[in-house]
Amino acid sequence: MPKVELIGLKKIYDNNVQAVYDFNLEIEEGEFVVLVGPSGCGKTTTLRMVAGLEDITDGRLIIDGNDITAIPPKDRDIAFVFQDYALYAHMTVYQNMAFSLVLRKENSNLIHKKVLAAAEILGLTEQLNKKPKQLSGGQRQRVAIGRAIVRNPKLFLFDEPLSNLDAKLRNAMRRELLLLHKKLNATIIYVTHDQMEALTLADKIVCMSMGYVQQIGTPLELYYKPNNLFVANFIGLPPMNLLDVEVKRNAISSPLFEIPLDLHHQKSLKDYVGKKVVMGIRAEHIYEQGDIPLKVWVNENLGQSTLIHGYLKNQKIICKFKRWANYQVDDIIKIGFDFENIHFFDKETTMAIR
């Protein structure tokens, strides 16, 4: 599998609307890269530029050291798995999987071997003589993936392939995609708006918003070290709690609490003394038996943990406790913040303060 480089990609449509701005990314051989972001952020447009289904307004696309920016889609040796499966209803599973190889006029014995091998990997051996309408949504998606596998392409592209499945099937298909990636050692670019898919599948995540790349890194990097308020709020379920606080010389304060700053945070916040910043804290980094009063709004039991939705005065806060809790509406509980996992962001630039 090749190395892939996206260098300064831009997409501007005829109506002068720009969908993607200066997109830069290096994808190593065998890497699983996920583009994630809300609808309209430019992730699918970027994928389609890689596939050749959208013209690149500016920038270059390099695969295996070759500039393929102007090469037609059919000559890029890229397999695209669509959101809606795009299967031929009148063909059997076998015929759907073999179709691209038949168009290439490959040897029939070789086609047969490739289809059977892909069907074995995907657990479709017993379904080869069925039509798509006889299959479940998960099976249809596996057929679409199998059609890509048989081509043995340089690069696999997935455009929200699990969005049409129910929650149980999505979880099962995520596991199958992880196993498939390990078996094939394939280079994959995968698009989703579901940040849980991104966190569970990716070797590397590209978080996008409004056509711009907000952060590139491993799932842990985006979760524990978000570059800005958008990434902090988008990555993670529930999203990070964000509070306005004032920086003092040795502490941060709000109308409800004052927390002393350690030497590290004193240094990073020294230019913000007397100013307000945004403090971020994830739900699991809030603990019980602190000294900050929280008024309970909802007690949401999840089995081994409980989400507590509450208010610090008018500020909504979500806490995640590692036990089955039974708080009632309007209960007042005392919480505390794990200071080692507190984040600070500049209110004007929205960038993380490190």
First to last CA, the chain: 37
pLDDT exceeds 90 at position 255: no
Give the C-alpha separation, 186 to 2, whole Å: 9
pLDDT exceeds 90 at position 85: no
Residue 173: per-residue pLDDT: 83
Contacts of 3 (CB under 8 A, 6+ apart): 26, 27, 28, 29, 63, 64, 65
Residues 155 and 278 grouped into a single domain = no
Q: How confident is the model at residue 74 (pLDDT cuts 50, 70, 90)?
A: confident
Question: Rg for the chain (alpha carbons), in Å?
Answer: 24
Give the C-alpha separation, 50 to 136, whole Å: 30
Span of 117-126, 162-171, 187-196, 314-323 with lowest mean pLDDT = 162-171
Six-digit token string for 247: 């920086």
Given 196, 231, 266, the domain boundary residue is: 231
Task: Quote the percentage of the chain above a pLDDT of 70.
Answer: 100
Residues 161 and 130 grouped into a single domain = yes
Residue 238: per-residue pLDDT: 93
Q: Is residue 34 part of a domain?
A: yes
CATH number for 320: 2.40.50.140
Residues 333 and 220 grouped into a single domain = no
Helix axes 108-122, 93-103, angle to 10 degrees: 140
Closest CA to 26 of 225, 153, 178, 189: 189
- The answer to whether 54 touches 48, Cβ cutoff 8 Å, is yes
Residue 138: per-residue pLDDT: 84
Residue 341: per-residue pLDDT: 93
Q: DSSP for 166-204, please give it.
A: -HHHHHHHHHHHHHHHHHHT--EEEEES-HHHHHHH-SE
Question: Three-state DSSP class for 17?
Answer: coil
pLDDT exceeds 80 at position 4: yes
Residue 177: per-residue pLDDT: 87
Tell me the whole-structure pTM to 2 decimals. Answer: 0.90
pLDDT exceeds 70 at position 1: no
Q: Which residue has the tokens 């806060």?
A: 317
Six-digit token string for 213: 């790349």
Question: Three-state DSSP class for 170?
Answer: helix
Residues 223 and 89 grouped into a single domain = yes
Domain span at 327: 241-345
Residues 164 and 255 grouped into a single domain = no
Residue 24: per-residue pLDDT: 98
- The answer to whether 9 touches 20, Cβ cutoff 8 Å, is yes
Residue 311: per-residue pLDDT: 95
